Amino acid sequence: MHNDRSILEARLKRVLDERIRPAVYPESVPLAVSVWQAPGEPVPVAEGLAAPRTPVEAGAAWGPAWGTSWFTVRGTVPAAWAGRTVEALLDLGFDDNMPGFQCEGLVYRPDGSPVKGLNPRNQWVRVADPAAGGEEVLLHIEAAANPVVLDYHPFRPTGLGDRDTAGTEPRYRLARMDLAVFDRTVWELVQDLEVLGQLMTELSPDSPRRWELLRSIDRALDAVDLQDVPGTAAGARRLLAPALARPAHASAHRLSAVGHAHIDSAWLWPLRETVRKVARTTANMTALLEDEPEFVYAMSQAQQYAWIKEHRPEVYARVKKAVAEGRFVPVGGMWVESDTNMPGSEALARQFVHGKRFFLEEFGIETEEVWLPDSFGYSAALPQLVKLAGARWFLTQKISWSQSNKFPHHTFWWEGLDGTRVFTHFPPIDTYNSQLSGAELAHAVRNFQEKGGATRSLAPTGWGDGGGGTTREMLARAKRLADLEGSPRVRFEKPAAFFEQARAEYGHAPVWVGELYLELHRATLTSQARTKQGNRRAEHLLHEAELWSATATVRTGAPYPYERLDRLWKTVLLHQFHDILPGTSIAWVHREAAKTYARVMAELESIVGEALTALAGSGEGTLVFNSAPHRRGGAPAHGAAPAGTCTPAPATARPRPDGGYVLENGLLRAEIDRRGLVVSAYDKETGREAVAPGGAANLLQLHQDFPNMWDAWDVDPFYRNTVTDLTELDSLQLLDGTVHLTRSFGNSRVTQRISLPAGSQRLDIHTEVDWQETEKFLKAAFPLDVHTDRIAAETQFGHLYRPTHTNTSWDAAKFEACAHRFVHLQEPGWGVALVNDSSYGYDVTRTGTTTTVRLSLLRAPRFPDPHTDQGVHHFRYALVPGAEPGDAVCEGYRLNLPERRVPGGTPVAPLVRVDNDALVVSAVKLADDGSGDVVVRLYESLGGRARGVLSPGFAMASAGVCDLLERPLSPAEPIDGELRLVLRPFEILTLRLRRA
């Protein structure tokens, strides 16, 4: 037989595109259209429905960027269409190739009830089935003119990311606005041909099945009269039926499709627009659930449910009904799909607390799947938090984006810092927006790493963001692919059903230990420094607010601010979403975030102030309040003592003979040369020098930074090829024992203050940068005389080790990584810590016995925010020579939780004391249920087994171990009113103490 494969495959494409698909709607009549342009921000639905309209025609321009247009369409179903299915086709000017990143609409009935969303791949609204003829059609559309920020020429700077710079010209033109007959038979023929055609092209040309499908398709196309597709579609479908009836092989892969729409809580649109995106998508999905009994839809992010509950209660009512029926499935158990690298310990725990509690209170559902398909790497602390939150499974897809190394597993046990394991799945389909296309399914089967041990994978199916979710076409594909030769078996089912089956067949899955490092998007640790600083400061203020409010309630009877703390926590958690905290959203988002953080911090300062005033009383003198988990001077951890109880000798300062200054305080001697660089940091107790021979620390270095793509997200390794050391000075002087210096470079200016606190083995550096650069990367380098093959970087509830070398491609890929308050380097018996108050990115290199650590301070990408980080920034970091790991922990907390001085004369005893500094208390608060119980969370901080005694500073009636949601796990038996604790390395323990 002659090889005519390419000719017949080309035939299928053209006939489908030009004849059969257009025949799905064989008859149509135009609708009358009128419009009202809402001024400014979106208006309530009732106002939009009632506003006056102006008639417009198809082709009319509409929508300045970020504007809202309210369209009304009217028409009458022709009498000749009686008995047929009629739909409204409402094309707002969509580009079918960009679902999720352009204009969208939500359709309403005249009474204001929502119908469904309008999206590029979902433009239809069912009007009558069957039609009687003569029906009047009246629909309203709330249309959002969201501009295309990420277009066919991505990553180019644009002003469209902020309403203030987006312009006022219309962004779209109305396209088809018709009533049309929907021909179900032709539509089904399209689905038959698409499924068989896509399957065919993925099979080997040597496969008999491929040729069988080709001949079946060819015969079916012969049966189609191109001038009468509706009249001949049924006959063509009969010819395809035998090919569609061939069952899958017994060994065929099993794919669990889960309806899904990954909706970024902010990204290339502001938070307010996400509220509407969620409403449109959930309106779509609840409508589809009513039409398709086999469909299952899963949605994560408690915040998004809360938004539609508040802003679109009529949509939320449909969601609640579908959840109760078990087919709209809450998943994830977190407040948002947060970044997991940068949120602090308590914040990451509270993501689960607030997320899971919302689903329990609203739906009575205990979510067991942690659903994070799109975050930029996953902290090694997560497995323990997953378990302590009462969850069992973990899902992500993002690791498939890694540039250098292919992750070796798709289904595995993930072991975290403390040894806790969680059953984990990476969908081998390599997308969280699957269409169930033939190419995607074939890729999933080829790509699946667990062949021979496991047979199942999962596919999140649907258009994300503003794409509207799963479509009826995707469901049609799933029905045809349920049992089809050459294809995996596809079935829509709940994520929990997939995980239960996968765990049952593959309990012996391999183990991956440690973080899930994404070899991409490393610059998210630095972009948008203001957002990151707002997060860090808000987290620590929340710690203080809970601690001092609980102490004030127990000690003085002051009311505990339950509602305020709950609201503020949720605001901070929202801004940890994986495109806000990482700095990858449009300018509008980060501009709003800065204002929000300012409000949050002001309110938290008010809460803290009220509590401290209640605690300090009216006595004379000054109290020093210490919210850190370690004693500081005379103040106990989490308590207060009179100022002056311990006053170490202040540091001395003198000039260096060849320029610069020497600072000394009995513990540390630091030398700053005439360039303003730290050339010596000498540990006087051990006689050990921290700065590498010939090196200079606190060296600011500037790099060109223009990644190949994903500007705000990425830094590529070649950025290191060019570097400018900033050594030129404008001024250098000594004022009040502190070295002050200024430098100018490019259009920017740096001012630094270098000081040596009294009684401390810490060299403090305060850096102010007036940053006016673009496409540059600023780092602060510390070459250290420490020979080590690994560095300890703080993460949530502990620290993890990363290599200082590049022996393997896995090691080399970690050229930029995350640390929280400290990094620590150590040789046996001596170490150095570098602590910071607001940075997350760092890099480390080793040359012989010199290990250089560099803090990442600022970047200047131009997409999606063309003015990223322009302006003034403040950073505090410190070098701690002679630091043991415990010193690194302690100094990190001290820098981030500065002491507070308050008028008053009565010392404040801590609510709890722990007698082992390795056991760090991360939270002291009152129980969320209003019972008045004191909740204490602590963790082993050094990576070893630790014993300790927890002593409450109040009469305790009983105690128990609880989970993150403060639900009991086991009783704890006090001995003489104290609790004896034994923790494994990096174990997290939450205790609930009932007051007598």
Cite the active site residues.
374
Q: Which of 474, 149, 100 is nearest to 281 (CA)?
A: 100
What distance lies between CA 218 and its chain's CA centroid?
48
Give the amino acid at 602. A
Write out the DSSP string of 11-41: HHHHHIIIIIGGGGS--EEEPEEEEEEE-SS
933, amino acid identity: D
Q: Give burial (CB, 10 Å; 0-12/13-18/19+) of 272.
A: middle
- DSSP secondary structure letter of residue 156: -
Cis peptide preceding 110, ω within 30 of 0: no
DSSP summary character for residue 102: S
- Mark out the alpha helices in 458-561 (DSSP H runs): 472-480, 495-505, 529-556
- Answer yes or no: are the C-beta atoms of 831 and 526 closer than 8 Å: no
In order, the DSSP letters of 341-394 are SSS-HHHHHHHHHHHHHHHHHHH-----EEE-SS-S-B-TTHHHHHHHTT--EE
Output the furthest CA–CA distance in the chain (Å, rounded): 103
The CA-CA-CA angle for residues 717, 719, 720, to 5°, reads 85
Q: Which two tokens stand for residue 216?
A: 């079946």
Question: One-letter amino acid identity for 328?
Answer: F
Burial degree of 836 (CB within 10 A; 0-12, 13-18, 19+): buried
Q: On the CB side of 493, how many CA atoms lie within 13 Å of its CA?
A: 17
Handedness of CA 197, 198, 199, 203 (dihedral sign): positive
| Cα dist from 556 to 542, 552, 616, whole Å | 20, 5, 10
275/897 Cα distance (integer angstroms): 35
Q: Are 698 and 754 in contact (CB under 8 A)?
A: yes
Q: How far is CA 691 from CA 669, 696, 834, in A?
A: 12, 7, 12
Cis upstream peptide for 26 (omega within 30°) = no
Both tokens of 684, joined, read 């006087």
Q: How far apart are the first and last CA of the chain?
A: 91
Residue labelled with tokens 């993460």? 795
Query: Is-contact 865 590, C-beta < 8 A?
Result: yes
CB 987 within 8 A of CB 940: yes
Q: How far apart are CA 236 and CA 520, in angstroms?
A: 48
Give SS3 for 655: strand
What number of residues does the chain have?
996
Please check whether residue 681 is in contact with residue 761, taking contact to mean a CB–CB distance below 8 angstroms: no
Task: State which amino acid sits at residue 539.
Answer: E
H or E, element range at 702 = strand 699-704
CA gap 435, 170 in Å, rounded? 31
Q: In whole angstroms, what is the distance from residue 416 CA to residue 515 CA?
A: 7
Burial of 653 (0-12, 13-18, 19+ CB in 10 A): buried
3-state secondary structure of 248: coil
Name the nearest CA neighbour of 865 among 5, 4, 166. Answer: 166
In angstroms, rounded to a whole number, what is the distance separating the alpha carbons of residues 440 and 787? 48
Distance between CA atoms of 400 and 432, rounded to whole angstroms? 11
